[in-house]
Structure 1
Amino acid sequence: MDVITKDWSSSKYLKLWLNVSICVPTFLVVETLAAFKWPFMTILTVVLAGSAVMGVLCGIMGVLGRRTQKNFVTLISDVFGKKFSKFFYVLRGLDCAGWYGINIAAATQLIVNLITVVTGVKVSNPIFIGIFLVLLVGNAVIAQSSGGLQRLLTITLCVLIPGIVIILFQMGGRVFANANFFVNSQGLVFRDVIGNICVVAAYWNGFALNMFDFGRNAKSDKSAFWGNCVGIVLGMGAMTVIAAIFAIQSFMTTGSYNWNLSHSLLHVSSSVPIHILVVVVFLMFMISTNSVANYYPAIQCLKAIMTKSRNSINMAIFLVISSAITPFFLSSSTSQLAYYWINLCGTVLAPLLAVLICYIILAKYHTVNADQYKWIYIVWTSAYIGIELVTLSILSYLWIIAIIGIFSTVTILHRLGQHAQKTNLVDGDL
């Protein structure tokens, strides 16, 4: 994954985003919106709008990554220094470990459900744990090969398209006749719409940092920007449509909509081969997502923290941490706190996007120094997190306000720095 090829066209970025977007955790985003009982087109619009907000930021980071040829680990170290940067590496690593485990647990549940559908026998907990561990280690092994991962990304997309066509053909004309959640929904609340646009955008806060890395492979600024910007919109849009298809199928079978993927897939088809096909496709997507969005960034962070450790040691540490914290996301008594914690990790990482973008753009002017960037980040992030801790809730729009605040503060300091430079130049001439 660290090999820089500089040959990525927009299509490669589209393929990347389509793969990382279509996975079980993104169903959580759509499921949240569905809980408002909004019309489907409203849900789709909110998802596309939120994705476009983050898409613009990812496009900019892709371009800057191509121009600087620096990954996010190096950039954080340049701004915050080697000692302070380890705080961000630990947070990003824990964030990745949490989502990696969530993906693996969801994949395990899909396999367990499939076994139950095929055999009619409920799977015991030891077998569940065994499947979980096999997937946990297997995914990490697959992630080691950059070439193998690229082939997996291509094969997955090739299998997805005919798979969805087959499912739609099976559902037939009943799809839209039974999809009454497209209409007759509750009235829209503007605050909820805006808030959830921010929720969708914030979902990619952590992975967005890696756009500096992937931008290094772009063949042009145009491909780095539009590939990322359009890729995230298409990926999340596709995820929403697929989630709706499964929810409708669940309604046709049970009489109620189910936006939980592992449950709705139980009703995806009466045909066992088609059920197997769908589960296999989603397993492939989750392996791709985990490899690119979770395993690779976490290993980068571990390498930065323990510079002399071997790859096998880093992999073992990551898998142990991931398997240790995953049960907290599965337990009904701790899952709410666990998801709050992992979202808080994203909350701390989100303002880094603005700081790193400003740092790269203004580096040649020498108007804002590293200490100022550090304090700008600390002040805005502390205010952001402080409000969330007081309210005990994730206020999705605050990260947008923090990013705008950072951009504004840096702009003011840059203008002041330019004025000071001009003043010093005039004084020198005198």
Structure 2
Amino acid sequence: MNLAFADIRHRLGRFLMTCLGLGLLMGVALSMVGIYRGVVAEALALTHSLRADLWVVEAGTRGPFAEASRIPGDVREMVARLPGVATAGAVTLRSAEMQAPQGLVRVQVMGFEPGRPGGPATVAAGRDLGGARFEMVADARAGLALGATVLLGGDRYRVVGLTGGLVASGGDPLVFVTLRDSQELQFQLAPPAARRAQAAGAGPGALDTVNAVIARLHPAADPATVAETVRRWKHLAALTDAEQSEVLTRSLVNRARMQLGMFTVVLLFVSAVIIALIIYTMTMDKLREIATLKLIGAADRTIIGLVLQQAMLLGAAGYVAALAIVFATRDRFPRAVELGPTEVLAMAGVIGLICLLGSLVSIRAALRIEPQQALGG
């Protein structure tokens, strides 16, 4: 007879409730791991969608994601003529709030030239932008429906397409508009401000300003070589796709990653302590049974097997419950929860190690139980 299974059947209700409680605790730790991975995935989602090999930005800056960058719009033509460049497109990027049917929605507005790099790689529903003004392609996380009308910067935009999984590094959903609409939204002054600027001698200013120019290279071209060519123009800077990804993961989301990582470690430590206490309590509840086993001559390995098997069964059942809870609710989280086979298996190994270490104190206590205690009152 397997003593661990026999004891679980004898106290099945308590065992299941304990597993459910552990499952909730492990589920929080597992979701933190998923959010940790999701922060990185969200930060890189836009750059992967754009498939840009080169980012040309204002000199002395690290691109539109990390800091402000303004360059003339005609830089796009200069970049497009460089050896190795297949195509180039000008883009703008800014945060804004828009009035949607469900209320105010904070979004990241991406302006691009239809037909050139800068737009969404795929549109899940509806269509991509054409040449018409005041049209918008929005990510599904913005909660907008096809055909919906939103108010952005004093103009009404109609949603003609929807994307999936395109958000800014801060988690705001991305919306795509034409470059001209975005330039007016970002760079055009309100009439009173424009009159004051003109009276001060600043001039009316030009709207042909962009935040960056992105380029796709020919397969044989070396991104580092093309970037070095751009850097020779003293008023511009250039980042390869790898360098832009480094900026996003090491600079913009590094603090969030550290916070989530530390919180995950704390949760795992708390889980380890709670699992150790539960296993110890379960072992002490069987004090007389263990003493009886010793009295009839059971070997130490039998006692060790009883405690260790129960600890592993407890951890396995709790982890299964955690997986069920997280995967059933992951779509309701405000940030992406990225859990692949690697994260699931790694977390299973951590939980197994925690259960193994947590059972050591209980095993030591069980081995110190005297057989005479089976005869006590």
Q: Same fold, TM exceeding 0.5? A: no
Which structure has the highest helix share of the two? 1
Q: Flag the structure with larger Rg.
A: 2
Which of the five TM-score ranges fits, normalised by the shorter chain? under 0.3
